[in-house]
Structure 1
Amino acid sequence: MPANFPEIWLGRVIQNLNTADVATFLEGIMELDVDVTQINGGTPTEMNKIYVPTTEFEAEILINNTTYPIPFQEYEDGTIEITLDKYQTKVITLPDDKTLGSSYDIIDTATKGTTRPILTTKNKKAIHAIAPQTNTVKTPVLAATGGAEALADASGRLRLTYEDLVIFKGKCDDGEWPAEDRRLVLCTNHWNDLLLDRKNFGNQLIDYAKGKPNPVIAGFELHTYIAMPLFTAAGAKRPYGVVADPTDKTASVAFVKDAIAKKTGITTQYFTPAAINPTRQSNDLSYRHYFIVTPYKTERIGAII
């Protein structure tokens, strides 16, 4: 086994966490250019925090001014403190026989079961965090209507229609969302609803494939994701990881790209070599990874249920 075995594996896991299986709805969201502060490192209360400068300052505009000197307006700003989510694996045991030589092929095979669950979990948590809590002018939550014909699937669920998308666009306009960079992440049900509407969508969705631009419909860049948040029938977001109630609805989530913050924190590997583990003769590994996706403010986010 090479002397730098732990470092090789940690570097490969970090690379895979940053490049593999990225949810398309997060593509193009810039990583925050702020330092990660580690608090209580190496203890059960360890946290990663970031401090993001923010401001709601807007200059007051004078029209046809004739009064001088022009009055002063003081610039004001502040800071948002964000605690990153912590993702930990259980301890993974790797028999020493399989790690001797540890080529990159073996590393990728052995760590795939580590990186994929972390990626899947943090992407699920990300889209849940982006979804609004409830319907407001700034965070519209719209119930699909099935259109004028009240189209429904076999379960009685009203289907999402083009008319619904136009109504939802209007609600986003009312909330003063910028016209550019609006994204709509459709749940599986809603994506399939639009597939059935060939009159309005033709083959735009059928032809959607990896490597092609995402279709833009009613001003929204469309994405789809399989693990979307749950809402109550009344339009309130359910907690992350909750068991679905029969009356819950799976939501599609909309947001403005620049309204979302993303930050990857510290990844730590915990390693016990087989040389000091005579009973199992295995290398014991576990990982701790920090990551967060969150709206900057409670605005420019929405949902369709």
Structure 2
Amino acid sequence: MTPSKFIKRVLGLVTCMVMAVAFNAAAGATCAVAIGCAPEAGAIAGNVLALAMGHAAPAGALRAGVLTEIWTGEMIKAFRTAPEALGWMQRIRSYNQYVNQDVIHFVAIGGDPAVLVDNTTYPLAITALTDADKPISLSKFSTEATPVTDDELHALSYDKMASVQERHRDALREKIAQRAIHSIAPDKQATDVPVIKTTGASDGTRKKMTFADLLTLKREFDKMGIPGNDRVLVLCSDHVNDLLETEQKFKEHYNINQTEGKVCRLYGFDIYEYDGTPYYTMSTGVKLAWGALPNATDARASVAFYAGRMMKAYGSTVFYHSEAKNDPLYHRSLVNFDQYGICLPLSETKSRAAIVSAPAGA
């Protein structure tokens, strides 16, 4: 081995050792804080654990960042941190504490007793009020596997595993949010489930949204007796752009308050912008099924709801990986995640609405 190659090899080993110690310290400190211990003790324990278990764990597992418990814990912690773009979802009450084996058990109330006025007939009738268990299974969201080769872990100057985890987490969060707003949005117009059509000027394909449409939404919520607090409106980007183009008041509010993704508060609604709202057929005002591909006659809608009658819950987070040492052809690990979660209205009626773009010729 030439002197230059020897020096390069030594520098590489030193760099790997420093990175391994830093990773083990960071992972140990994180776990320590999670259980209420001092982070310094966790940092030391992380390196002691890696040293003690080095022969028991797969080669490089504790230093390459594929220790299942650590990555699962980090995923759970990060997944429950509210990103600004999904501030509307953070308004919904969490039912995580009621999740058992990725199922939530609700009680289906059997009804109310009859009320008699000035009754003179006895004995009184007996009416049984039978309640029932209503289990709801959480949906399972799975990411496709990502390959991470030993060469990448050896040569890269950044934490590849942390980067992979972050991208899987963000992809899961976005898909769960899209499914959540799709579940909240009404399927179509029904009693106490309004689907409002826009009434603005035509852009050649659809009618634009106006403040008059927001006022119609407010009237509908008032008529349904929905409490004035915790009314949330999630605007699609088309409707945001319509209001920015035509309504000076909205333009003045936009970008002033971006706390947790909130655009402003108007007409009693806390207004958020999100480009993952569901598509509706413009002519019929009917929501497309989950996963259906839109066409030229469909457009994204805005969704309104009363946060007090919505629920969300996250269940198990499962980290999967196969070791590179078991892949003689490619020398790569495969990594992916399962995340269980759900978001639904607690009441089908008097809790939500949609604003759908009307077709240009309507």
Q: What TM-score results when the alignment is normalised by the length of structure 1?
A: 0.82
Distance 1:198 1:288 in 2: 43
Q: 1:200 deviation in Å?
A: 3.8
The residue type equivalent to 1:189 in the other structure is: D
Q: 1:11 deviation in Å?
A: 2.2
3-state SS in 1 of match to 2:342: strand
What is the identity percentage for the equivalent residue pairs of Structure 1 and Structure 2? 27
Q: 1:286 aligns with which of 331, 336, 347?
A: 336
Instruction: Indicate conservation of the 8 Å contact 2:316/2:339, yes or no.
Output: yes
Distance 1:267 1:252, change over 3 A: same
1:1-305 correspondence runs (5 A): 1-3=60-62, 5-19=67-81, 21=83, 23-32=86-95, 33-37=97-101, 48-53=102-107, 55=109, 77-99=131-153, 105-146=159-200, 151-153=201-203, 155-210=204-259, 214-232=263-281, 233-299=283-349, 300-305=351-356
Q: 1:284 deviation in Å?
A: 1.9
Distance 1:29 1:59 in 2: 31
3-state SS in 1 of match to 2:80: helix
Distance 1:131 1:223 in 2: 15
Name which one, 1 or 2, has greater alpha-carbon Rg: 2
Instruction: Indicate conservation of the 8 Å contact 2:253/2:263, yes or no.
Output: no
1:203-242 deviation digits (Å, cap 9, x = unpaired):
1124242458642111111011012111122111111121
The residue type equivalent to 1:138 in the other structure is: D
Q: Which has the higher contact order (CA 8 A, sep 6+)?
A: 1
1:158-211 deviation digits (Å, cap 9, x = unpaired):
111111111121122222322221111001111111112344435112424245
The residue type equivalent to 1:9 in the other structure is: W
Q: Which moved more, 1:157-166 or 1:100-109?
A: 100-109
Q: What TM-score results when the alignment is normalised by the length of structure 2?
A: 0.70
The residue type equivalent to 1:301 in the other structure is: R
Q: Which moved more, 1:120-129 or 1:192-201?
A: 192-201
Distance 1:266 1:145 in 2: 44
Distance 1:58 1:194, change over 3 A: farther
Cα RMSD (Å)? 3.4
Distance 1:62 1:203 in 2: 56
Instruction: Indicate conservation of the 8 Å contact 2:211/2:247, yes or no.
Output: no
Instruction: Indicate conservation of the 8 Å contact 2:87/2:262, yes or no.
Output: no
The residue type equivalent to 1:169 in the other structure is: K
Instruction: Indicate conservation of the 8 Å contact 1:131/1:253, yes or no.
Output: yes
Q: Which moved more, 1:182-191 or 1:12-21?
A: 12-21
Q: 1:100 deviation in Å?
A: 6.0
Instruction: Indicate conservation of the 8 Å contact 2:79/2:173, yes or no.
Output: yes
**Greater helix share, structure number:** 2
Note the residue ranges of structure 1 that are not aligned, 5 or more in a row. 38-47, 64-71
Distance 2:81 2:249 in 1: 35
Report how many residues are paired: 290
The residue type equivalent to 1:303 in the other structure is: A
Distance 1:61 1:163, change over 3 A: farther
